[in-house]
Amino acid sequence: MFVRGLKRKCFDGEEDIEGTLAGIKAIPSYNLQRQSLLDMSLVKLQLCHMLVEPNLCRSVLIANTVRQIQEEMTQDGTWQMINTQSTGQASLDRLVSTDILCRSSREQAEGKHVPGYGTFNKDFEGDQGQDSSETMSTGSSVQAPRNLQGNVWEMENPQESKGNFQKSLDQIFETLENKSPNSVEDLFSEVDNSYYDLDTMLTGMMSNTKMGHCDGLETFSSPTNTASNSNCKSDLNELDHIVEILVES
C-alpha cells in the first residue's frame, strides 16, 4: 500500500511533471502567438504610407493592442520567462527575425534619420514649455534600444524596459501633437534640407516657409482651430526613427 502510494505519488509526480512540462510547452505556444501578434502590430505601426496621412483610428487600435499585450506580458512576468528558459529555436528565431526586420529598415534610413533625429532633439531643447518632458522621453527612447536589446538577450529588469517601451510607443502619437507656433518655426529653420525626399517641392517650401507659415496660421482662424499647427517633415523622420526603436524591442 505504501509502495503503491509511493508509486502513485511518483506517478502523480511524473504526471505532475509531465503536466508542468505540458504546461510549459503550452505556454510558449501561447507566448509565441502573443509575441508574433506583438511583432505584427509593431510592423503595422511602422509601415505607414507617409505620403498620405495614416489612418488615426487604425493606429490607435493597433497601439492599444500592443499596450495590452505588453501589459499582459509584464504581468505574468513573461519577459523574464522567455529569457530564463533558453527557449527552443523558435522564439530565438522570432527575436532574430524582428531584429533583421528593424536592421534592414534602420540601414536604409541610417543616412538621414540619425542626424535628423539629433537635430530634432536639439530643437526641442531650445523650446520652452512642455518640451522638458518631451526631451526626457526622447532621451530615454534613444536609450531604449540598448536597454530592450539587453533585456532580450540578457536578464534585466522588465519594469524599466516597460517604461521605455511605453514612452517609445507614446512617441508615435507625439508626432500628431500640435506644436506651438514658435517651436514649429524653429523646427523649420533648423532642420536640414538634405533629408527631404521631395527636393524640388520642398526647397521651394523652405524659402517660403517663414512667410507662408504665418499665412497658413491666419487662414486657420476659425474658433475651432487655434492650435491646428501642423507637423513638419522632421516629425515624420522622427516617427520613422522612433518606430525603428520600437521594432528593435
Q: Using CB under 8 A as the criterion, which residues of the chain lie in contact with another protein when the complex forms?
A: 33-34, 37, 40, 44, 50-53, 55-58, 60-61, 63-65, 68-69, 170-171, 173-174, 176-178, 198, 202, 205, 212-213, 216, 219-220, 222-225, 228-233, 236
In this structure, are residues 98 and 32 in contact, taking their beta carbons and an 8 Å threshold? no
State in angstroms the smallest separation of the CB of 6 from another protein. 41
State in angstroms the smallest separation of the CB of 132 from another protein. 13
Distance CA 234, CA 87 (A): 40
Cell of 182: 514658435
Closer residue to another protein, CB minimum distance, 20 or 203: 203
CB burial of 179-217 (b: ≥16 within 10 Å; e: otherwise) equals beeebbbbbbeebeeebbeeeeeeeebeeebeeebeeeb
Closer residue to another protein, CB minimum distance, 72 or 125: 72
Nearest to 246 by CA among 163, 129, 145, 150: 145
State in angstroms the smallest separation of the CB of 175 from another protein. 8
State in angstroms the smallest separation of the CB of 162 from another protein. 15
Closer residue to another protein, CB minimum distance, 3 or 57: 57
